[in-house]
Amino acid sequence: MKRRSLIYLHTNQNSCKQIIGKVFIKPEEKYKNFGLHSSPGFLYNQPSVLVGRTDVVSMTPWLAPIIWEGTFDPTLVDSIYKQHNLTIATTVFALGKYTRFLKDFLESAEEHYFVGFRVHYYLFTDQPEAVPEVKMGKNHRLTVRRVPSMDRWQDISMGRMEILEKLIENELASEADYIFCLDVDTKFYGRWGSESLGRLVGVIHPWFFDYPRDQFTYERRPESQAFIPAGEGDYYYTAAAFGGSLADVHHLTKTCREQMNIDAANSIEAIWHEESHLNKYFLYNKPSKLLSPEYLWRDINISVGQVKIIRFSHVAKNNAEVRPN
Ligand SMILES: CC(=O)N[C@H]1[C@@H](OP(=O)(O)OP(=O)(O)OC[C@H]2O[C@@H](n3ccc(=O)[nH]c3=O)[C@H](O)[C@@H]2O)O[C@H](CO)[C@H](O)[C@@H]1O
Ligand SMILES: [Mn+2]
């Protein structure tokens, strides 16, 4: 028995060596235990193996959970994740006229987003003076970073990948455990909490959740690095929200940035910009958790039966008026 566990340790150490170059481990947290501990005496409804939601699918074919209202117990997941003393870094970009979305975004986030957890927003803007004063809740804080203005909205949107890559690389290792990257032309209407945490987290796009895969707006030109051939694809993911562990999101942002650079050198831009590259990435690097369209809805007024709660939603905007081009 002893010998077998020694052999296991040995191979494990070898495989760790390869990973250590890429993964960011806080020295003091190397041995942090992320077990799902629950406390004696903590009471909650009995889980069932037979009764649950039947109108939606809550598991992918690779066994990643898809989070819908009714598939988790919020007080139970909070009590489990609270024990880990986590920090959730959250990035948001507001350049040009998009600063007008900040007030609603931040105020609604403070009402619904990881309440009771440590949150550090990183806000990237070309006009720090236009950032509204929003009172942060307990253990929530906001850091504003100046970035240069840009002439094309596509460059702003795609440029996020490189800025996130560098932020994780240079600063977050000793600062955060998870990261979420969110669009700013949005508003929270309901809880977004610890149920969303996972190694690599994708959000199902609100327009295409009931479409056949060949109608997804994947990049279909083989010349682009974002190309996905007909017959392939799982879901269509939005680029307006994604996240996960620092290591996994670092790999995602780095890969998308590299793929976009190759496209640029070949004078091609993917049909939906970084969203096309993100979809290619998630097809071959499966997310470990998926968030249902409750976590990014399209317009608060459009309803479908399966979406019982809208947690986060794109607000209506006049693209021609707010975008620089
Ligand atoms: C629902 C959804 O999936 N939305 C995606 C979609 O359209 P969207 O219409 O949602 O893109 P968008 O105009 O919101 O741009 C994405 C983000 O870039 C930032 N920004 C953009 C322009 C600008 O002048 N200033 C500025 O700050 C801002 O944070 C914004 O939220 O396609 C984009 C790129 O093709 C992104 O992938 C979006 O996430
Ligand atoms: Mn948007």
Task: Please name the helix (run of DSSP H) or strand (run of DSSP E) that holds residue 257, with its range, or none.
Answer: helix 246-265
pLDDT at 173: 87
- Kindly state if the Cβ of 239 falls inside 6 Å of ligand 1: yes
Which residues lie below 8 Å from residue 20, measured CB to CB, with a gap of 6+? none
Do residues 107 and 187 lie in contact, with contact meaning Cβ atoms separated by under 8 Å?
no
Which residues are part of a known binding site? 98, 183-185, 205, 217, 275
> What is the position in ligand 1's atom list of the atom closest to the CA of 93?
29
pLDDT at 32: 63
CA of 240 to the centre of ligand 1 (A): 7
Do residues 78 and 194 lie in contact, with contact meaning Cβ atoms separated by under 8 Å?
yes
Of all protein residues, the one whose alpha carbon is nearest to atom 11 of ligand 1 is 157
Average pLDDT, the chain: 91
Q: Is 144 exposed, middle or buried (0-12, 13-18, 19+ CB in 10 A)?
A: middle
- Kindly state if the Cβ of 277 falls inside 6 Å of ligand 1: no
pLDDT at 34: 73
Write out the DSSP string of 104-144. Answer: HHHHHHHHHBSTTSEEEEEEEES-GGG-------TTEEEEE
Percent of the chain at pLDDT > 90 equals: 86
pLDDT at 24: 56
Across the range 223-230, mean pLDDT stands at 98
Helix 153-170 × helix 246-265 angle, to 10°: 140
Q: Tell how strand 186-188 and strand 312-314 pair up.
A: antiparallel
pLDDT at 27: 55
Across the range 254-274, mean pLDDT stands at 98
Which residues are part of a known binding site for UDP-N-acetyl-alpha-D-galactosamine? 98, 183-185
Which residues lie below 8 Å from residue 11, measured CB to CB, with a gap of 6+? none
Of all protein residues, the one whose alpha carbon is nearest to atom 25 of ligand 1 is 95
DSSP bridge partners of 91: 122, 181
CA of 37 to the centre of ligand 2 (A): 37
Rounded (10°) CA dihedral 252, 253, 257, 260: 60
Segment 193-211, tens digit of pLDDT:
999 999 999 999 999 999 9
CA separation for the pair 134, 213 (Å, rounded): 41
CA 44 to chain CA centroid, nearest Å: 28
Percent of the chain at pLDDT > 70 equals: 90
- Kindly state if the Cβ of 273 falls inside 6 Å of ligand 1: yes
3-class secondary structure, 314:
strand
CA separation for the pair 261, 242 (Å, rounded): 21
Q: Is 179 exposed, middle or buried (0-12, 13-18, 19+ CB in 10 A)?
A: buried
Across the range 53-60, mean pLDDT stands at 97
Choice between 17 and 300, residue whose per-residue pLDDT is larger: 300
Testing ligand 1's pocket by substitution, the residue of 105, 146, 157, 302 carrying the most ligand atoms inside 8 A of its CB is 157
> What is the position in ligand 1's atom list of the atom closest to the CA of 273?
35
Q: Tell how strand 178-182 and strand 237-245 pair up.
A: antiparallel
CA separation for the pair 234, 214 (Å, rounded): 10
3-class secondary structure, 246:
helix
CA separation for the pair 200, 209 (Å, rounded): 19
> What is the position in ligand 1's atom list of the atom closest to the CA of 94?
27
pLDDT at 23: 52
CA separation for the pair 280, 112 (Å, rounded): 31
Segment 58-107, tens digit of pLDDT:
999 999 999 999 999 999 999 999 999 999 999 999 999 999 999 999 99
Tell me which of 111, 275, 294, 321 is the catalytic residue.
275
Task: Look at residue 226 and tell me whether its pLDDT is greater than 90.
Answer: yes
CA of 121 to the centre of ligand 2 (A): 18
pLDDT confidence bin for 126, thresholds 50/70/90 = very high
Compute the C-alpha angle 293/298/304, nearest 5°.
65
Segment 171-187, tens digit of pLDDT:
998 899 999 999 999 99
- Kindly state if the Cβ of 161 falls inside 6 Å of ligand 1: no
Give catalytic status of residue 275 as yes or no.
yes
Segment 5-51, tens digit of pLDDT:
333 333 344 444 344 445 555 555 556 667 899 989 999 999 999 99
- Kindly state if the Cβ of 119 falls inside 6 Å of ligand 1: no
